[in-house]
Amino acid sequence: MELSAADLDALVSEASAVLDAAVTLFLEGHRADSAVRKKGDDFATEVDLAIERQVVAALESATGIGVHGEEFGGPDVDSPWVWVLDPVDGTFNYASGSPMASILLGLLHHGEPVAGLTWLPFMNDRYTAVTGGPLMKNGVAQPQLTPCKLSDTLVAAGSFSADSRGRFPGQYRVRLLENLSRVSSRLRMHGSTGIDLAYVADGILGGAISFGSNVWDHAAGVALVRAAGGIVTNFAGDPWTPASRSALAAAPGVHGEMLEILRSTGDPEDY
């Protein structure tokens, strides 16, 4: 099945209505307690589970396309067509009462993000985009990103513990942020990958780095950034795919500067 730009716009319109219907549940569940303990110190709230059930059922009924959700899984993300859903991105923020949380929904075609929706209910902002752009914010087309310098922009990074291990050890992250701060002292840590990527697309951030590998954290935002004229790769500079183990999203110009800083910081395995 091949879909035209008009078909994608129609799917985004249907999906927008589905996400709008979940906003009340999202807002009412603020500060929800942990319900499901996941890997490490991760968890899900009852709201995560309820929103995913509601959105999956409504999306599949409205569009006929399966949904791969963070909490319950679903069709393979390399399927010909599949929605990828994160019902509450920034769960720690959400459970703590911070407004920096979002609902993320991406549409993948053989693993390629072709549409993205990012809802920020506490800010009353809705971002959508399809391949080819433009980025839409609250229904209004936004200007394309233009080349800029890292020193002139805000930059966001994922959170961490300095003593943590894993694929990107805490000390590697500390050194990377130190190196970034030498060029841009305007570092931010929002605790929501989806918000970081949406803000790159919107030109609020010049760039963002994600140490995560979960496709549901990235799919929607990758579509938004690329539609806005930005660049999304992994830390090695290869185009982002659902198999990527990291993400670097930035405006033209900033992306190249951040990639050079990543390379100069060295191999995470050495930390």
- Binding-site entries: 70, 86, 89, 217
- Looking at the structure, do residues 137 and 159 belong to the same domain, yes or no? no
Identify the CA nearest to 126 among candidates 17, 212, 209: 17
DSSP state of 112: E
| Total count of domains within the chain | 2
In this predicted structure, the answer to whether residue 33 has a pLDDT above a threshold of 70 is no
CA distances from 85 to 57, 103, 123, 173, 205 (A): 12, 8, 20, 27, 23
Q: What is the mean pLDDT of the chain?
A: 93
pTM: 0.94
State which residues form the domain around 175: 150-270
The per-residue pLDDT for 32 is: 66
Q: What is the pLDDT of residues 55-111, one digit of tens each?
A: 999 999 999 999 999 989 999 999 999 999 999 999 889 888 999 999 999 999 999
Per-residue pLDDT band for 48 (boundaries 50, 70, 90) equals: confident
What are the pLDDT digits (tens) for 183-233? 998 999 999 999 999 999 999 999 999 999 999 999 999 999 999 999 999
Residue 19: both structure tokens together = 């996400």
Residue 192 and residue 121 in one domain: no
Domain boundary among 88, 118, 141: 141
Task: Compute the distance between CA of residue 8 and CA of residue 116 in angstroms, rounded to an integer.
Answer: 10
Question: Residues at the annotated binding site for Mg(2+)?
Answer: 70, 86, 89, 217
**Burial (CB count within 10 angstroms: exposed 0-12, middle 13-18, buried 19+), residue 78:** middle
The reply to whether 64 and 85 lie within a common domain is yes
